[in-house]
């Protein structure tokens, strides 16, 4: 049976839930290729996230937590845990 999507005719906004996901590979030199709507924590840790102004801040997170923040980079230095980007 084909899947029915009752929301297919609606426009996707920046406040919509994620429709795609990717594993975040922390890097001290490269921004994420895709800027996520939110960051999901799959394994406890701390994500050092850079904003579009170049400010880095640590976000301690527990597994299952979602951070509604559109960071441009997750730094390798200081980041522990496993994180996924939702977009």
Cα 1 to the center of its chain, rounded Å: 32
Please, where are the H alpha helices in the chain?
A: none
Which residue ranges make up each domain of the chain?
21-86
CB 17 within 8 A of CB 49: no
Q: How wide is the angle at C-alpha 58 spanned by C-alphas 54 and 63, nearest 5°?
A: 130
pLDDT greater than 80 at residue 14: no
- What was the pLDDT predicted at 5? 83
Q: What is the pLDDT of residues 59-78, one digit of tens each?
A: 999 999 999 999 999 999 99
Neighbour count for residue 15 (Cβ, 10 Å) = 7
């Amino acid at each position: 049976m084909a899947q029915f999507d009752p929301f297919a005719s609606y426009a996707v906004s920046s406040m919509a839930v994620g429709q795609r996901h990717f594993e975040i590979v922390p890097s001290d030199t490269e921004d994420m290729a895709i800027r996520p709507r939110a960051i999901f924590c799959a394994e406890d840790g701390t994500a050092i996230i850079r904003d579009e102004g170049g400010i880095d801040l640590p976000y301690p997170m527990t597994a299952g937590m979602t951070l509604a923040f559109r960071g441009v980079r997750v730094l390798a230095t200081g980041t522990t845990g496993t994180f996924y980007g939702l977009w």
